[in-house]
Structure 1
Amino acid sequence: MTQIFTGLVEEMGEVISVARGEKSLKIKIKCKKVLEGAKIGDSIATNGTCLTAVELGDNYFTADCMFETVKRTNLKRLKSGSKVNLEKSLTLATPLGGHLVTGDVDCEGKIISIKQEGIAKIYEISVEPRLMKYVVEKGRITLDGASLTIVDFTKESISVSLIPHTQEMITLGYKRIGDYINVETDLIGKYVERLLHFDNSKEEKKKKGIDEKFLFENGFF
């Protein structure tokens, strides 16, 4: 079953260990809040990546990462001591304070500038050009699992603004120029694009089945 998140980070966990296999990872993460009521098999967004808890302890969980996850996300860059954003999946009792986040990371972005602007810091992050069609000013974007507002964008980058409190609560506030961050673009934008460009012609041809035209075109007349 598909899991949904809100992009509201519950806590920052700390990586205890990373075991690297052949095109896979096993990550053990120290945490507290996301373990409340958690069961083996539950989904926990880790830097915005939907992972399944395969082992639970009093102050940690362990998750396996397959090759697609390793290839597409910054989890491959983690090491012991790394900080990660954590969020449990959405339930019917969870307030939707951010936006709908799937935990399926689109790509890694790279921080290309950090500027102080009053009390806030403006982070500019490069994003693969193919994903920029889902970006709108004042729209939402998920960075390492945190739902943030886009304040500006170019053909190849987006900018977000963090107040001091947010800088302390999520990984982006501790990153530097050149660091990588997981990017998930807006889910609704993807569905709108799919609907606008979907080609029904092939499906309609399938529904027609065998008729006089079909028999003629295939040499039966």
Structure 2
Amino acid sequence: MTPRDIEAFFATLQAERPHPQTELEYTSVFELLVAVLLSAQATDVGVNKATRRLFPVANTPQAILDLGPEGLESYIRTIGLYRSKARHLMQTCRLLLERHGGEVPRDRAALEALPGVGRKTANVVLNVAFGEPTIAVDTHIFRVANRTGLAPGKTPLQVEQKLLQRVPERYREDAHHWLILHGRYVCRARAPQCAQCRVAAWCDHARREAKGRR
């Protein structure tokens, strides 16, 4: 994509969804952290089903610890890798209390030092909770960035770094949401909805497909 393509691409996504939001349900920064930690290799729908049961009972680090490992697992066992996620979450809650007064830190290094919290999770928390212009590259964003020609890269980090270079600053804070929702509902892995795509005019893949039909 050229800079002009990128401008038109994001202007169109913005017009379609002026105020994009995460589909994870939360009411505090801690709840967001928990939901994102649980969402690895799981759907937002599945995580929301579990946290709707968990959060009314335990939505603070101390309350999670008070459940104990087995108690926590009973609420999240419908989520993939629930045992390792429960272990990481218990360890994270303990560190939040010991190092941060029970609050979620607004610092990348401190976030990534928490068990189960990698760069992607830290980026989501920094962006959604604190409004920082970070871009968390999950499978959807990785696919969209490569397929469209927006920010090709062989690794999530390469894609993230290229997105931060190429996405105009005024779109950067919401870019994560626009790209993930576009990948989830339109630019799907197996059956991309190119005929219904509003940004197909600037997409490398759609243009190649159109040329191949001529």
Q: Could you say which TM-score interval applies, normalised by the shorter chain?
A: under 0.3
Larger Rg: 1
Q: Which is richer in helix?
A: 2
Q: Which is richer in strand?
A: 1
